[in-house]
Copies of this chain bind each other. A is one copy, B any other.
């Protein structure tokens, strides 16, 4: 064979391979469009699941992310957790077989969900993820516990359902519990530092206790109950620990103070060092660590988001010219956005495109494409002017002079002030005795005034504007007033029918009446800012709510096993002599019984939760040590350390950081470049709209059909950025740390290390 032929063959081969490659690429583009959509929506919602890219796995993955199975999982977790209401010690006792059956059903659902997850992600990834191992272990342990417990109860032995403490851990380890896992990781990362401060704090308490023992133990002082004062070292340690929580101040100091004034120096020094210095140090350590690790996590999140967008870009990219930069065309982009967010309006999409395609080229590069996830996360309200329906129906009347005057009156600032005054007068009337007929009849008058206000506003403003999605206070007002009207009518009807007043309905009426007063807050600008800040950190507070739920549940389960039935509550009308000492003769004449704390017990899950809330506020637990053993205090000290020293400090850290961001944003410091871009464009759009129309806008988020050409609609359209709202908690967190994120981080995405390590790994308990 000649060299020529070989060369020709190889040319042929290359050509063949090339054309095959082109064809394959063609197929892939259409097959992979789904994949691109999934990558973008994962980036949008910050999902971090490393799924298989086979078409079958992708379909399964789409099903996995469907809202229905996710809601179902949460529903069954809720059912599983609320089983505690029906199990021994129960609020509503159910037979054991019934609760066991329901629990088995729950376990089945979790197993199916986990199986589904196993199908979606590669086998090796599945087994490497501690989250999954954790769920499997929990499921197995629960099953074993149920079998043992079933066997024990069948043979009439005493069994403990110890696996109940594992239940809340499902909430942590379920795929959707990302926020909660992050909070737990923050805590775990801060633990070493907290631990050393805690050791020092304990050393300080132990030293002070030793000094108290030597100084006060031998003086023969007595506590108020006549017990010897500061004679037992462990008792002193516990008492001084409780003093840190301020629960027994100043009682613990009084015997020493009564003996001599100089001993107050000891206590004041103790309180200063331990309550103020050490507690501030705990907060400082938690705050610093929280900030540090959260920043790192958010950085990882942003990196992974960008990487997913780069993957989507790789699928959709085309080359305009030979050797040019790969780009995505407007057609592909439009189709992608439509699939990712089916509800998006055409003008909104057009706006996003014009932000991305700054130079109006018809295609965008990688950098502009990667922004898409952030762009979609900015909530844009599309406004369109629309006349009042009455104006359309009866223009002569609606546009007449008296009608116009009425409109002007209602729109005037004085209208708001008058109604604020009415609310204040109403508040006074509510405070007065409602059995006075004058007062109770005045309620009708106020109700009429409030109804009139709503009707007037509906007359002046377009109803669809008035009841738009973002008009929280209008909705609040209307619902409260109408509910109050209904409840008041029902109440009067009942009263006039049989002279009978339902306490429940009356309570509802009262609550509604008082809630009506809250509206005053909205009319003061300064208050609105503070309230908006508080509302905005709301979703993140929900994460802490879950965290608290997990910790409370575990402590409640343990507490119920330890203390159930030790303290009993007797009804006020009960004549049982045990009532005076909460049904436990050990409590006779104790402060616990005398303070009427009998209902603070661990006899069922509801009481336990209420008691744990009380313990969070003030650590009052002397009663439980009395009825069981002094070592029971360990339970309460542990609870204080976990909830007050760790979790509440994380909560305060979060609020501090959130307020800091909100205050900075209010001063215009943290406006992102992205939002500024849209703002510029919004102004450009707004130029078409006459100024006086701005107040007469309507949200038409899903209103414009695709048949309508966006250019034609533009003159009457206006965009408004709800920049302070975030669709996801992650977006809010990202905003919090945006100032510290390297904008050049994007470049690092090509880094192979980052691809394998940072991006698609599920952040789990082991990842930091």
Which of A's residues lie within 8 Å of B, judged by CB? Answer: 196-197, 199-200, 203, 207, 210-211, 213-215, 224, 233, 246, 249-251, 253-255, 257-259, 261, 264, 268, 271, 275-277, 280-281, 283-285, 287-288, 427, 430-431, 434, 507, 510-511, 513-514, 517-518, 520-521, 526-527, 530-531, 534, 569, 572, 594-597, 599-600, 606-607, 610, 613-614, 617-618, 620, 648, 651-652, 655-656, 658-660, 663
Contacts and interface: CB of A to CB of B under 8 A. Distances in A.
Given A261-B606, A276-B651, A610-B257, A530 B599 contact: no
Contact of A288 (B520, B572, B596, B663): B663
Contacts of A569: 258
A215 B511 contact: yes
Given A214-B510, A530-B197, A652-B280, A207 B618 contact: no
A663 B195 CA distance: 16
Contacts of A430: 210, 214
Given A246-B617, A285-B659, A430-B214, A207 B596 contact: no
A287 B656 contact: yes
Given A210-B430, A430-B214, A600 B288 contact: no
A422 B399 CA distance: 96
Contacts of A281: 530, 534, 655, 659
B254 A595 contact: yes
Give the number of times this chain occurs in the complex, counting copies: 2
A424 to B, nearest CB: 11
A56 to B, nearest CB: 47
A224 B257 contact: no
Nearest to A259: B572
15 contacts: A200-B521, A210-B431, A214-B434, A214-B511, A246-B246, A250-B617, A250-B620, A254-B595, A259-B572, A271-B613, A277-B534, A283-B652, A284-B659, A288-B660, A656-B656
Contacts of A268: 610, 613
A268 B552 CA distance: 14
A551 B517 CA distance: 36
Nearest to A533: B281
Contacts of A197: 530
A527 B211 contact: no
A656 B280 contact: yes
Nearest to A610: B264
Contacts of A434: 214
Contacts of A288: 659-660, 663
A268 B514 CA distance: 18
